Amino acid sequence: MSDLLPIFPLPNVVLFPNVFLPLHVFEPRYREMVADALAGDRMLGLVLLRPGWEHDYERQPAIYSVGCNGLMSHSEKLPDGRYNIIIRGIERFRIRGEDYSRSYRRALVEPLPETAPAIEDRHALAAARTKLTGLLSPFLDRTGDSMSASALDDTDMVNALAQYLQLEPLEKQALLECASTRLRAEALIELLEMKILMARTPGGSTFSH
């Protein structure tokens, strides 16, 4: 990672490693950030804003310290200066310090790599994949969708589900902060089981994907 990583704080988006995310960039400070990144290594760090961010949004609202950096794999500059970009998540990080010398925030970050799982973790991930598929099948069948993540390996499937399922931002942040993919898979299973149980309760809420 660069010594200072451009930081893109968002109120409801969490990026996971090796998952693609389309974004529309319209604020002047973040247009500048994208232009600078495109002129450099094309890397951005996505972080989630902490609750209460609305009161300080124009300055430096509080953010969670764990985020994910991403590579801009595609960018389109619109005639009015806005950007449509696609980011591919690369690696989790922890913020160690911030720099406010530009219109947008930059941070000194510590990488949080997720090492290749050991044999027992691979077995646990395979079992978790089977469990997740079973939990989600009724919802996929109801909407006529198929398990489009079937071509992904176990790690990428867990990260894709964590990002694309319509979970609360704080739930996604908790999943991102899990120290390994195995722990993330186990936490995601517990979360989905809880939501399914709530959906079966009269007056309970449900979720979609």
Which of 45, 80, 112 is at the close of a domain?
112
Residues 75 and 31 in one domain: yes
Residues 105 and 129 in one domain: no
Residues 19 and 82 in one domain: yes
Length of the chain: 209
What is residue 90's predicted lDDT score, i.e. its pLDDT?
96
| pLDDT tens-place values along the chain, 209 residues long | 448 999 999 999 999 999 999 999 999 999 999 999 999 999 999 999 998 876 766 678 899 999 999 999 999 999 999 999 999 999 999 999 999 999 999 999 999 988 767 777 888 888 998 899 888 876 654 444 444 556 788 899 999 999 999 899 999 999 999 999 999 999 999 999 998 888 777 665 555 44
Counted domains in the chain: 2
Asked if the structure places residue 73 within a domain, the reply is yes
**Residue that the structure tokens 């950096």 belong to:** 69
Residues 26 and 108 in one domain: yes
Residues 24 and 95 in one domain: yes
Asked if the structure places residue 205 within a domain, the reply is no
133/113 Cα distance (integer angstroms):
26
Asked if the structure places residue 207 within a domain, the reply is no
Amino acid at 12: N
Asked if the structure places residue 50 within a domain, the reply is yes
Instruction: Give start and end residues of each alpha helix (H) in 144-180.
Output: 154-164, 169-176
Q: Supply 1's token pair.
A: 């990672």
Which of 112, 132, 148 is at the close of a domain?
112
Residue 150, domain extent: 119-200
Residues 74 and 160 in one domain: no
Asked if the structure places residue 209 within a domain, the reply is no
Which of 112, 145, 169 is at the close of a domain?
112
Residues 101 and 61 in one domain: yes
Residues 91 and 182 in one domain: no
Residues 76 and 127 in one domain: no
Considering only CA atoms, give the Rg of the chain.
18
